[in-house]
Structures are given as structure tokens and as C-alpha cells.
């Protein structure tokens, strides 16, 4: 039944030759000042070569203030356009389409690491995962965020991206505006759901006004916030947000879940060694020594709890996604735990989604799309989370000792020796 996965799907006016996408994975492969590098392109070459119908980049910062991690790529200035163009040319060389995921990280950052004075967010509510206390944005700063999104989309267009994905999920800035726990504003941007969705809608409206109706614009949105404490959004409210975005001209929506302070429902999987790797080789290596020490001391207990609370299963956002699919006319993309053809086909054929998107199984097997097309079994991701544990500190890659040798041999044989 490969027809399901390789039947065309239209997003806006763009026809894609299949329904398995590479979702956003932050690369930690940019230069320190956010430019595209050869090392970054090396990661994408095999994924494009395998005929992946749509590649979504890792999140690209729209302004330095919106940058979340070291070696993240930016789309914040015109001087980034030539490097970004190399990226789109690489994808197009192999027939893949590529969307830029654009983002402002809001409070989910460490200002000292990024080199900014402070984090900005809708309200001054401390993030319990990063421990960052942001400052509430002024109305002028909100206006600048809208302009930064528009400028980023214009740069994406100039660099040859086939479309953009606006990040509205995972507790980053636009998601923070949506969520009552993080948005305590008393002005027109806070309070009722209508007010909390005002900024995401204004961003989309301004982007549409600038690029017209034909340029594909999609969003990534939570299917539920799943906060451990405080008032997060449930699926009913988020479906209303999606309907409003659709009315404003959105072309497609990818459904995920969670903020940083939700724990790990956004990824699920196994967490043994997770915090240890995060503080030694991931974004955590830039934290002050006492925080690193505390993380190491608590690592084993956290792994035990997380293994129990967030085990993986294929299509773990499917129950959310199905509700969006029932309420919307635009394509719905479901992310989360996919790695077998059967589960992907089942999700598409049973009304969960129109397409599936994949992060970790494609990091483990960059040829996943070709392997699915040909019925060949490649390296099988076991959701050890070594890749995400190292995000923001080491280049995105598969760090699973059990998979690596065969994976590297497979890539080398196909001529991708630099991976």
C-alpha cells in the first residue's frame, strides 16, 4: 500500500509527491553567528537524496532576541540569504521541497548563552524548565515581533524556500501568548482566548498581506499543552485557534504537544542517561556549574519517572491530530513516534491526518523515505533520545551506539562520508 504514503498532497498551491515529511530538528550545525555551514548541509544531503517529499528545517531565529541555542541558524538578516539559498538548492537538487521553520523562542532560552540582556515573553512568568524569568513585552516589542516574522518570510522566499512554517507550538513565544499560564496580560493580547490568539493571528495576517495568497504558509501547533502545573490549553481550545488561523489563510498545520515545562510528552521514549548527556554534551553544558551538578544528582530519579510517564508509541499525537482533521479543511500533519509504514498508513487512512512528519526515525535512518518506498529495512530508531539530549550543544546526529556503525556504513556506501 505504498500508494497511501506516496500519493500527492497539496499544501496551498504546492503539490508534494508524498505524505512523509521530515519535521523540524534544530541542527546545532550553524556557525556561531547563525550562518549555514557545510556541516549543516551534510546532514540534509542524504535526507534529500532519499526523495523526502518535504523537509522542514530546524527552527530558525527571526531576531537574535528570539534565538534559543548555540549554533542555531538565523533568518534574521539579509546577509543570511546566500547561505540559506545553498540549503534550498541542495534540497531542490534531489527533488525535495523545503520549508523554513521560523521562530521566536520567547522565554525558553538562557540570556547569558545567547548574549542578550534578558528573555522576553508575554508576561514575567518564570520558566520552570530553564529557570529563566523573562520580562513582559511592551506593545512596541510585540509590533516588532510581527515585523520580524514578515521580514523572515520575505527572506525565506528570496532564499528559495518553497514555503514557511511559523512555530506556534512547544512553549515558544507565540505558544506562550496562547497559553494562560504564560500569558497573564491585561491588555488586548491577554485574558480571553480571542485576545490570547491575537498575536499569532496578527503575525499570519501580516505575512499573508506581504507574500500574497499563493506562498505556502503552515504552522506547528500543540494539540494540547499538557503542562505539569498551571493552566495550559486543551485540544478544544487549540482547535479553535487552528480554525481561526485557517480563516486567516493558513495552508496547513502540524500537530505536536507540550512546552519545555510539560516534561517530555513532546518527544516520549527512553530517558536513561538523558540529563547526563544534556549537561555534558547538550545545551546544558552552558549552564552554571551548580545547576549542572543538581541535574546530574537528580538524573537517575528523573529518568525513572520520565520512562514511566512518557513511553513512546507510534503516532503519539494521533488522538489530538484526529480532532483537528475533523474540524479543518486544510491538510493536517501529525508528528510523534512514527517509524513503520503500517502505522503511517493507518494514521493517514483512518482520518488522523493527511501526512506524517518524522524527526528521530529520520535522524537514525536518513534514507527512511527511500527505504519505505522500496520495502527495505534501514537502521531502526529505538527512541533512546541521544539526539535531542545533545541538541544545542553538539551537532544533530544519531548517537545510538547500537545503530551508529551500520548507519555510518550505509551513508558511506552511498557516498555521504562526511556525515
Ligand X SMILES: Cc1cc2nc3c(=O)[nH]c(=O)nc-3n(C[C@H](O)[C@H](O)[C@H](O)COP(=O)(O)O)c2cc1C
Residues that bind ligand X (CB under 6 A): 23-26, 58-59, 101, 167, 170, 220, 256, 266-267, 335-338, 358-361, 387-388, 391, 396
**What's the CA gap between 78 and 151, in Å, rounded?**
9
172 is catalytic: yes
Q: Which is nearer to ligand X, 16 or 277 (CB)?
A: 277
Q: Which is nearer to ligand X, 88 or 108 (CB)?
A: 108
Q: Which is nearer to ligand X, 148 or 397 (CB)?
A: 397
CA distances from 91 to 45, 246, 276, 331 (A): 7, 28, 35, 22
Q: Which is nearer to ligand X, 144 or 314 (CB)?
A: 314
Q: Which is nearer to ligand X, 369 or 391 (CB)?
A: 391
Strands 135-136 vs 163-168: parallel, antiparallel or unpaired: unpaired
Question: Cβ 138 to ligand X, closest distance in Å?
Answer: 27
**What's the CA gap between 180 and 166, in Å, rounded?**
20
Question: Cβ 223 to ligand X, closest distance in Å?
Answer: 11
Helical segments of 212-354, H only: 235-247, 274-281, 289-309, 318-327, 341-349
Residue 295 · residue 301 · CB < 8 Å? no
The beta strand positions in 38-106, using DSSP E, are 54-56, 60-61, 97-103
Which contiguous run of DSSP H or E holds residue 22? strand 20-22
**Close Cβ partners of 391 (under 8 Å, ≥ 6 residues apart):** 25, 26, 28, 69, 282, 283
Q: Which is nearer to ligand X, 274 or 338 (CB)?
A: 338
**Close Cβ partners of 18 (under 8 Å, ≥ 6 residues apart):** 5, 6, 7, 8, 9, 51, 53, 369
Helix 38-49 crosses helix 81-93 at what angle (to 10 degrees)? Answer: 20
Question: Cβ 201 to ligand X, closest distance in Å?
Answer: 20
Q: Which is nearer to ligand X, 190 or 222 (CB)?
A: 222
**What's the CA gap between 230 and 112, in Å, rounded?**
27
Question: Cβ 396 to ligand X, closest distance in Å?
Answer: 5
Beta-bridge mates of residue 334 = 255, 356
Question: Cβ 308 to ligand X, closest distance in Å?
Answer: 18
**What's the CA gap between 177 and 179, in Å, rounded?**
6
Question: Cβ 57 to ligand X, closest distance in Å?
Answer: 8
Q: Which is nearer to ligand X, 299 or 334 (CB)?
A: 334
Question: Cβ 26 to ligand X, closest distance in Å?
Answer: 4
Q: Which of 61, 172, 189, 215 is catalytic?
A: 172
- 203: which DSSP letter? H
CA distances from 310 to 75, 304, 391 (A): 33, 10, 19
Question: Cβ 338 to ligand X, closest distance in Å?
Answer: 6
Residue 225 · residue 241 · CB < 8 Å? no
Query: How far apart are the two ends of the chain, measured CA to CA in Å?
Result: 32
How many residues in the chain? 419
The residues that are catalytic are 172
Amino acid at each position: 500500500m505504498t500508494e497511501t504514503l506516496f500519493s500527492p498532497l497539496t499544501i496551498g498551491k504546492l503539490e508534494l509527491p508524498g505524505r512523509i515529511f521530515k519535521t523540524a530538528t534544530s541542527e546545532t550545525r550553524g556557525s556561531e553567528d547563525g550562518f549555514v555551514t557545510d556541516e549543516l548541509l551534510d546532514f540534509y544531503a542524504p535526507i534529500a537524496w532519499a526523495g523526502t517529499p518535504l523537509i522542514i528545517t530546524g527552527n530558525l531565529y527571526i531576531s537574535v532576541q528570539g534565538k534559543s541555542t548555540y549554533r542555531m541558524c538565523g533568518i534574521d538578516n539579509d546577509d543570511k540569504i546566500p547561505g540559506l539559498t545553498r540549503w534550498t538548492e541542495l534540497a531542490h537538487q534531489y527533488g525535495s521541497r523545503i520549508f523554513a521553520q521560523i521562530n521566536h523562542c520567547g522565554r525558553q532560552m538562557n540570556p547569558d548563552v545567547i548574549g542578550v540582556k534578558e528573555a522576553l515573553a508575554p508576561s514575567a512568568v518564570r520558566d520552570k524548565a530553564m529557570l529563566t524569568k523573562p520580562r513582559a513585552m511592551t506593545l512596541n516589542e510585540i509590533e516588532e515581533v510581527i515585523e520580524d516574522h514578515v521580514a523572515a518570510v520575505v527572506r525565506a522566499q528570496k532564499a528559495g524556500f518553497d514555503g514557511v512554517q511559523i512555530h506556534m507550538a512547544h512553549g515558544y513565544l507565540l505558544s506562550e501568548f496562547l497559553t494562560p499560564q504564560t500569558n497573564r496580560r491585561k491588555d488586548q493580547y491577554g485574558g480571553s482566548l480571542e485576545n490570547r490568539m491575537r498575536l499569532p493571528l496578527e503575525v499570519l495576517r501580516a505575512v499573508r498581506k506581504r507574500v500574497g495568497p499563493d506562498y505556502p504558509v503552515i504552522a506547528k501547533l500543540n494539540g494540547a499543552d499538557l503542562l505539569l502545573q498551571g493552566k495550559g490549553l486543551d485540544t478544544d481550545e487549540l482547535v479553535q485557534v487552528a480554525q481561526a488561523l485557517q480563516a486567516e489563510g493558513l495552508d496547513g498545520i502540524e500537530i505536536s504537544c507540550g512546552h519545555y515545562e510539560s516534561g517530555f510528552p513532546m518527544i516520549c521514549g527512553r530517558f536513561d542517561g538523558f540529563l547526563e548527556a544534556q549537561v555534558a554534551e547538550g545545551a546544558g553544558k552552558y549552564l552554571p556549574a551548580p545547576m549542572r551538578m543538581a541535574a546530574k544528582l537528580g538524573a537517575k530519579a528523573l529518568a525513572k519517572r520520565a520512562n514511566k510517564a512518557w513511553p513512546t508509541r507510534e503516532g503519539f499525537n494521533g488522538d489530538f491530530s484526529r480532532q483537528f482533521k475533523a474540524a479543518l479543511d486544510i491538510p493536517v500533519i501529525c508528528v510523534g513516534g512514527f517509524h513503520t509504514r503500517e502505522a503511517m498508513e493507518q494514521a493517514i487512512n483512518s482520518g488522523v491526518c493527511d501526512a506524517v512528519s518524522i524527526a528521530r526515525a529520520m535522524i537514525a535512518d536518513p534514507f527512511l523515505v527511500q527505504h519505505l518506498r522500496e520495502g527495505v529495512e534501514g537502521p531502526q530508531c529505538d527512541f533512546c533520545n541521544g539526539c535531542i539530549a545533545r541538541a544545542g550543544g553538539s551537532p544533530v546526529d544519531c548517537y545510538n551506539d547500537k545503530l551508529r556503525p551500520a548507519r555510518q556504513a550505509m551513508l558511506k556506501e552511498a557516498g555521504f562520508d562526511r556525515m
